[in-house]
Amino acid sequence: MEIIRVKNAEEGGKKAFELIKEGMAAEVKTLGLATGSTPITLYQEMTNSDLDFSEMVSVNLDEYVGLGGDDEQSYRHFMNTNLFDKKPFKETFVPNGKASDLQAECLRYDDVIAKHPVDIQILGIGVNGHIGFNEPGADLEGKTSLVHLTESTIEANKRFFDKVEDVPTQAISMGIGSIMEGKQLILMAYGANKADAINEMINGPVTNHLPASVLQNHANAIVIVDEAAAAKL
């Protein structure tokens, strides 16, 4: 793992943007994208840039079960408003959280990933070390699946909802096995509440108790951390 220390989220977003820009100047065609507060500064860099994404494909990590693209808290809506509406891509994929057959939707999404292998995968990290919505205990070789969110994740994500009861308890998430197939992984983490997870991810054992630790096994994983998130390294 390569660790890049930055001052704050703004500098982190610029660093990640540079890596994407370099990639696009070479062979990169497919970006694996993430939601949450962490990638927002990166998406700002992308939308403010003069880069053209109209030949690029994106494959997002996850979506809440029960929320459609019209729901303001859905990850589809987040991606549209923070990036795609401002910088059109050729094609964008996000799991369908309103699919009537959720198992079939997982298989469909695996097919999307197989047809569009991810060149650069952007990742955030949960306070409990989850990536995508792969919570502690997840299969480190797993494919797309229907997942149950932990109390800690529901608690952390309730800030985006009116009340905690509104936070969906299930999601569809790209699996860790598929995430690891991305040619390059860029995980970003900002803020003191990520310091323990970042330390465990880098210095702890590779274990599904802290899913992000699996990045230790990836040949091209870059971690961008601000001072607060790096405080326990």
Report the interface residues with ligand GLP, using CB under 6 A.
34-38, 61-62, 124-126, 132-133, 153, 157
Note if 48 is an active site residue. Answer: no
CA atoms within 13 A on the CB side of 15: 20
Name the catalytic one among 45, 105, 135, 226.
135
Residue 200: enclosing H or E segment and its boundaries?
A: helix 195-203
Note if 128 is an active site residue. Answer: yes
Which residue carries 């992000």 as its tokens? 212
* CA–centroid distance for 99 within its chain: 21
Minimum distance between the CB of residue 25 and ligand GLP, rounded to whole angstroms? Answer: 27
Q: Which is nearer to ligand GLP, 35 or 208 (CB)?
A: 35
Minimum distance between the CB of residue 127 and ligand GLP, rounded to whole angstroms? Answer: 7
Note if 181 is an active site residue. Answer: no
Which residue carries 């704050």 as its tokens? 8
Name the catalytic one among 82, 130, 134, 226.
130
Q: Which is nearer to ligand GLP, 126 or 168 (CB)?
A: 126
**Residue 186 contacts residue 77 (beta carbons within 8 Å):** no
* Cβ count within 10 A of residue 185: 25
Q: Which is nearer to ligand GLP, 26 or 152 (CB)?
A: 152
Note if 116 is an active site residue. Answer: no
Tell me the three state secondary structure of residue 218: coil
Q: Are strands 62-64 and 170-173 parallel, antiparallel or unpaired?
A: antiparallel
The pair of structure tokens assigned to 204 is: 């702890």
Minimum distance between the CB of residue 150 and ligand GLP, rounded to whole angstroms? Answer: 10
Minimum distance between the CB of residue 170 and ligand GLP, rounded to whole angstroms? Answer: 12
Q: Which is nearer to ligand GLP, 50 or 162 (CB)?
A: 162
**CA gap 31, 190 in Å, rounded:** 21
Q: Which residues belong to the active site?
A: 62, 128, 130, 135
